[in-house]
Amino acid sequence: MRAFVIDQYKGRVRKADVAEPAMGEHDVLVEVRAAGLNMLDEKIRLGELKMVLPYKLPQILGNDVAGTVIGVGSAVQGFKPGDEVYARPGKDRIGTFAERIAIAEVDLALKPASIDLVEAASLPLVALTAWQALVERGNLRPGQRVLIHAGAGGVGTIAIQLAKHLGATVATTASTGNLDFVRELGADHVIDYRHQDFEQLVQGYDLVLDSLGGENLEKSLRVLRPGGKVIGIAGPPDPASARELGVNPLVRLGTAALSSGIRRKARRLGVTYEFLFMRASGEQLRRIAALVDDGALRPVVGRVFDFDETAQAVQSLAKGGIRGKAVITRA
């Protein structure tokens, strides 16, 4: 089958003929109709995550999928051929930039009925990230205040909507051209990061979702109330996240060193920092699908590429500037 792979880190993405996916008894074989693009794909290509996500090269890229079930393992009970589904495959089984992929049943869900496959493919990774940050880790409740950075991006567009659904007051950062757009998504307070300093405009917040890292992460600690929390998805990883990923003890020591500075600064301020590397979850995708069909969440697709343009599509990730998500589609 056709797929897009990398042969070495920092190498180009190329089209290749690869073997058909291996199927286990608990697996579902999906004909890929659309695949979401994520900065995670580019970070994998560059080798930035090879210490915590070691892939055997060549590796098919792609972490989001929507498509049609064409086969099921002998132990699969929840899906049948013809079902339209969506998923973020498990971290050890990525590879959605291909014609077909085998996905564990527990990581798969029926796609929201109210949207098409392209829109569905834009959701899994970013929606699961938003859910796990705001619901699981953040325990966001009505009346609380949350700052969501990069509100016009893939995670930001979904996180704003989810936070509003949860009853929170939402502040977000965005570029000048996206201010009205993030207001339409539900943001209560909008900060133009090109001309305004968010640290001077928001204080006493319960939660921050940081997708930028660096100086932005440090400043985010200072806008929290005592006991507040920053959840970072750009790094640095902390020891707990390294344990969850199952990396070896030496790598865990390295991640502890990388995040020691920011964790120390958080303790001095009486707040906490946690790193989130989202995990696959079909159960959570079912809950997200219900929110989409109820009108609480809507996907934002900023650009669509043809399957044959996958290499250029991955290259475009470094340029940014796309509202919501970019998606690859197979006619």
Tens place of pLDDT per residue across the chain (331 aa): 999 999 999 999 999 999 999 999 999 999 999 999 999 999 999 999 888 888 999 999 999 999 999 999 999 999 999 999 999 999 999 999 999 999 999 999 999 999 999 999 999 999 999 999 999 999 999 999 999 999 999 999 999 999 999 999 999 999 999 999 999 999 999 999 999 999 999 999 999 999 999 999 999 999 999 999 999 999 778 878 777 777 777 777 777 777 899 999 999 999 999 999 999 999 999 999 999 999 999 999 999 999 999 999 999 998 888 999 999 999 7
In the chain the domains, ranked by start, together with CATH numbers, are 2-122+299-329 (3.90.180.10), 125-275 (3.40.50.720)
Instruction: Note the pLDDT of residue 254.
Output: 76
Predicted local confidence at residue 259, as pLDDT: 86
> What pTM, to 2 d.p., does this model score?
0.96
Spatial neighbors of 303 by CB under 8 A, at least 6 apart, are 316, 322, 326, 327
Instruction: Return d(Cα 9, Cα 44) in angstroms, integer.
Output: 8
Q: What is d(CA 75, CA 316) in angstroms, rounded to the nearest whole number?
A: 40
pLDDT at residue 243 in the model: 76
Question: Are 214 and 265 a contacting pair, CB within 8 Å?
Answer: no
Reference 259, options 41, 52, 42; nearest CA is 52
Rounded to an integer, what distance in angstroms lies between the CA atom of residue 197 and that of residue 253? 34
Distances in Å between the alpha carbon of 97 and those of 61, 185, 311, 327, 328? Answer: 6, 29, 10, 11, 8
pLDDT of residue 143: 98
Write the secondary structure of the chain as one string of H (helix), E (strand) and C (coil): CEEEEECCCCCCCEEEECCCCCCCCCEEEEEEEEEECCHHHHHHHHCCCCCCCCCCCCEECCCCEEEEEEEECCCCCCCCCCCEEEECCCCCCCCCCECEEEEEHHHEEECCCCCCHHHHHCCHHHHHHHHHHHHHHCCCCCCCEEEECCCCCHHHHHHHHHHHHCCCEEEEEECHHHHHHHHHHCCCEEEECCCCCHHHHCCCEEEEEECCCHHHHHHHHCCEEEEEEEEECCCCCCHHHHHHHCCCHHHHHHHHHHHHHHHHHHHHHCCEEEECCCCCCHHHHHHHHHHHHCCCCCCCEEEEEEHHHHHHHHHHHHHCCCCCEEEEECC
Cα–Cα dist 326/7, whole Å: 24
pLDDT of residue 264: 95
Residue that is written with structure tokens 């990581």 in the block: 107
The DSSP bridge pattern shows strands 325-329 and 205-210 to be: unpaired
Tokens representing 174 are: 């965005």
* Cβ atoms 259, 238 nearer than 8 A: yes
